[in-house]
Amino acid sequence: MSTAESADFWSHVRRQVPDLPAAVPEAWAFGAIPEHADGLLALVLAGTKTATASSLGDYDEGAEPLPAAGDLSIILDGAGRPRAVLEVTSLQIVPFDQVSEAHARAEGEDDRTLQSWRRIHEQFWREHSARGFAPDMQVVCENFRVVFPAVPRNG
């Protein structure tokens, strides 16, 4: 997504939700590939997915700041188009093996059980994390709310 496209989207969102700040927030997509981005975004827009998880080690590798409650993000689809705005409502850092059933359910994936959450995320981090997977790795568990869902585009 271009900076101009991000700024245009943010201007549109601010016309609909005028109390948002003027600064354009970070734009990112869920997952590591377009199919992840589209599938997880669909769960967000359906109201099924209200949480996400990241490897704390990946934040360290990328020298990215950790999210915090109140942070806003523009969420992109698999083609890099802005589709929604999310606000972090809470954040907790826990070892992988201590992620809660409630968090797994809030992530909205597969059958929404902790068992499937562990299977999906272990595989994801083994394949896509800069630091790989470890059973005791630290996981950043975020809860969020949708501030603005974009209307799907035709074509």
- Give me the domain span that covers residue 112: 3-149
Q: Quick check: 56 and 125 in contact, CB under 8 A?
A: no
Q: Quick check: 76 and 44 in contact, CB under 8 A?
A: no
- What pLDDT is stored for residue 3 in this prediction? 80
pLDDT tens-digit profile of 40-81? Answer: 999 999 999 999 999 999 887 666 789 999 999 999 999 999
Question: Which CATH number do you get for residue 79?
Answer: 3.10.400.10
Q: Is 155 among the domain residues?
A: no
Does 155 have pLDDT greater than 50?
no
Nearest partner of 131 among 60, 65, 66, 63, judged by Cα: 60
Number of domains in the chain: 1
Q: Is 112 among the domain residues?
A: yes
pLDDT tens-digit profile of 90-123? Answer: 999 999 999 999 999 999 999 999 999 999 999 9
